[in-house]
Amino acid sequence: MPNTKSAKRALRKSDVRRLRNRSTRSELRSAVKNARAAISGDDAQAAAQALQAAAKQIDQAAAKGIIHKNAAARTKSRLAKSANQNKAAE
């Protein structure tokens, strides 16, 4: 438990940030999951849209410091690679 007034405020702010980051991270995971599902499907246009939406979510999370910028780049790269491999196989 915090002992000082500033520590109490810091704890409050930390809780708010944690909840905000958790919801953003959840949205990010859902977007990546939807992109992977769309890429493995048959519709190339839906896959491209899902990939674009996931990339946007990834970039926003990296800009806010929710995920590391290298982790964001790695995730986007892997999604794009998967999409390109699927497109080449068709």
The CATH number for 28's domain is: 1.20.58.110
Tens of pLDDT, residue by residue over 27-76, are: 999 999 999 999 998 888 999 999 999 999 999 999 999 999 999 999 99
Q: Which pLDDT belongs to residue 80?
A: 96
Structurally, how many domains does the chain consist of? Answer: 1
Q: Tell me the pTM.
A: 0.86
**What one-character-per-residue DSSP string does 8-72 give?**
HHHHHHHHHHHHHHHHHHHHHHHHHHHHHHHHHSS-HHHHHHHHHHHHHHHHHHHHTTSS-HHHH
| Residue 65 belongs to domain spanning | 5-89
